Amino acid sequence: MDDLMAKASGEFWVLIGSGIGIALAAVLLALMGAVRDWLFNLVPQLIGKLKKSYPDRKDAEQNQRVYTELVEMRALTDADRSYVLRFHNGNEFLPDNPVWKVSCTHEIVKAGVSYESAELQGLLVSRIHNLIDSLITGQSSYPGVKLVDCSKCQFKSKCDRENKHVVVVQVDEMENSFGRFLLESHNIKTIVQSGMVNGGRVFGLVGIDICDAKLADDEMIREAADRVCRTAEKIQYFLQFKNAPASVPPSIKNQ
């Protein structure tokens, strides 16, 4: 009797073990199937991202449009330098604060003026906050940094921008800061800048540098501010829409 019970008990546990083995095998097969499907979907995505990482004809056309606008803006304002700066996030400061940086992506200079874009890469926004804050907030609270009244802009009737803030910075009137040191080290006397906006958020700026002498005449400042704001409107359109048509929307066409 004991032998029969022992035999029955052994067979029972064999069946239990077999059932567990089958269940584990089924789970394993299901997991393998899920991994296979995940990889099947992931590989095309990775290939697509790799393809997008290479410049194409659209990128070349986009850059050409930006440079064309910068060349015209520099000439019309008689500035020493015109440029595009764009914000980006490299890493994070603890606890979970993005490290906002700014880099120069496009630059045009007058003959005899040095290019500075190589040095303006990955600059911490926090170090030049007094030059950036007014473009974002529309409020001027720093010495030497003034907002231009957009209600008097010569392009007002055709302007359709979300953010119309234009900032004029007179370097010799700035407080002692890294921003002032940076500008003075490049012999910059006046800068005029306007933000580029997408969805209500500033993603970069367009600006000009005046190096020979301070831009002090009110009419010249007004003209420069209008031109910079107008150019920022066009360039933000080109940078937001890579496949933008060759002609810009009616709201930002030249007068």
What band does 255 get if pLDDT is binned at 50, 70 and 90? very low
Q: Please tell me the predicted confidence (pLDDT) of residue 244.
A: 52
pLDDT value for 250: 47
Q: Is residue 201 very low, low, confident or very high in pLDDT (cuts 50, 70, 90)?
A: confident
pLDDT, one tens digit per residue, over 45-99 is 666 665 555 666 677 788 889 999 999 999 999 999 999 999 888 676 667 677 7
Lowest mean pLDDT among 8-12, 16-20, 28-32: 8-12
pTM above 0.85, yes or no: no
Q: What is the mean pLDDT of the chain?
A: 79
* pLDDT tens digits, 102-151: 899 999 999 999 898 888 888 888 888 888 888 888 888 888 888 887 76
User: What is the pLDDT at residue 49?
Assistant: 60
Query: According to the 3-state scheme, what is the secondary structure of the chain?
Result: CHHHHHHHHHHHHHHHHHHHHHHHHHHHHHHHHHHHHHHHHHHHHHHHHHHHCCCCHHHHHHHHHHHHHHHHHHHHHCCCEEEEEEEEEEEEECCCEEEEEEEEEEEEECCCCCCCCCCCCCEEHHHHHHHHHHHHHCCCCCCCEEECCHHHCCCHHHCCCCCCCEEEEEHHHCCCCHHHHHHHHCCCCEEEEEEEEECCEEEEEEEEEECCCCCCCHHHHHHHHHHHHHHHHHHHHHHHCCCCCCCCCHHHCCC
- At 216 the pLDDT is 87
